[in-house]
């Protein structure tokens, strides 16, 4: 438990300096105190951090809980590969993909390193622009049966978002999903 102290006494004797129950006759001893001190908590991070291809900031950051504490960036959960020390890490990543970093906080007063916080940085690949979208320019709230057309099915990301077009047929107002024709969806 943090704050506990353990007092350790080591007495050394042998045939050259026998212990005779009387410290005055010269046996060797050492004493020291072991005190349990607290490590800082994991640093303050924002995760996941999602960026579009081509708009990734050069650095990502973590904030210490106490001023004067140090932030350490690691490449692995085992904290064996130190990448950088400081609040703002220049990652050098520009390619689409998922990148993970582990960040710890080290106390400025006692040097103890706290547990890691994981930061996941996602760089999303660029999406191809869909063809021209045709349909009504204005749609009223709660209006059903509105149809928009797209020349071809544009590529979608994992959330079925295609450059702000929602392709999720399960939430359509008229439940009519046709290839190339997409119905207005208020949830998109």
How much is the mean pLDDT over the chain? 78
Handedness of CA 156, 160, 162, 167 (dihedral sign): positive
Q: What is the pLDDT of residues 116-168, one digit of tens each?
A: 999 999 999 887 766 677 777 777 877 787 777 776 655 555 554 444 444 44
- Residue-level pLDDT at 181: 39
Q: What is the pLDDT of residues 36-49, one digit of tens each?
A: 888 999 999 999 99
- Residue-level pLDDT at 15: 63
Within-domain flag for 30:
yes
- Residue-level pLDDT at 12: 67
Q: Are residues 95 and 134 in the same domain?
A: no
Cα–Cα distances in angstroms (integers) from residue 28 to residues 6, 9, 14, 17, in the given order? 20, 11, 10, 8
Residue 84 tokens, joined: 């950088």
Domain count, the chain: 3
- Residue-level pLDDT at 139: 79
Q: Are residues 91 and 157 in the same domain?
A: no
Q: How many CA atoms lie within 13 A of 110 on its CB side?
A: 10
Q: Given 124, 142, 159, which residue is the final one in a domain?
A: 124
- Residue-level pLDDT at 140: 81
Q: Which residue has the tokens 């998109």?
A: 188
Q: Which residue has the tokens 């107002």?
A: 173
Within-domain flag for 177:
yes
Q: Are residues 88 and 54 in the same domain?
A: yes
Q: Are residues 132 and 120 in the same domain?
A: no
* Residue positions counted in the chain: 188
Q: Given 124, 147, 177, which residue is the final one in a domain?
A: 124
Q: Which domain holds residue 61?
A: 49-124
Within-domain flag for 41:
no
Q: Are residues 28 and 88 in the same domain?
A: no
171 confidence band (pLDDT: 50, 70, 90): very low
Q: How many CA atoms lie within 13 A of 22 on its CB side?
A: 3
Within-domain flag for 108:
yes
pLDDT above 90 covers a percentage of the chain that reads 43
Q: Are residues 141 and 81 in the same domain?
A: no
Beta bridge partners of 73: 84, 103
Within-domain flag for 139:
yes
Residue 182 tokens, joined: 């997409």
Q: What is the mean pLDDT of residues 13-17?
A: 63
Q: What is the mean pLDDT of residues 77-88?
A: 97
In angstroms, the CA 87 to CA 120 distance is 16
Within-domain flag for 42:
no
CB atoms near residue 43 (< 10 Å) = 24
In angstroms, the CA 124 to CA 45 distance is 20
Q: Given 89, 124, 159, which residue is the final one in a domain?
A: 124
């Amino acid at each position: 438990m943090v704050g506990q102290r353990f007092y350790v006494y080591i007495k050394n004797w042998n045939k050259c300096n026998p212990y005779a129950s009387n410290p005055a006759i010269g046996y060797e001893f050492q004493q020291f105190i072991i005190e349990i001190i607290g490590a800082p908590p994991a640093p303050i991070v924002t995760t996941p951090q999602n960026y579009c291809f081509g708009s990734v900031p050069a650095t990502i950051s973590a904030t210490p809980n106490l001023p004067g504490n140090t932030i350490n960036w690691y490449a692995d959960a085992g904290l064996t590969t130190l990448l950088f020390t400081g609040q703002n890490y220049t990652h050098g990543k520009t390619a689409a993909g998922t990148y993970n970093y582990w960040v710890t906080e080290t106390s400025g007063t006692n040097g103890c390193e706290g547990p890691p916080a994981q930061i996941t940085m996602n760089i999303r690949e660029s999406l191809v622009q869909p063809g021209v979208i045709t349909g009504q320019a204005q749609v009223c709230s709660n209006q059903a049966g509105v149809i928009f057309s797209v020349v071809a099915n544009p590529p979608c990301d994992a959330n079925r978002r295609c450059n702000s077009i929602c392709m999720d047929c399960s939430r359509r107002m008229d439940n009519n999903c046709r290839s190339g024709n997409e119905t207005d969806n208020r949830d998109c």
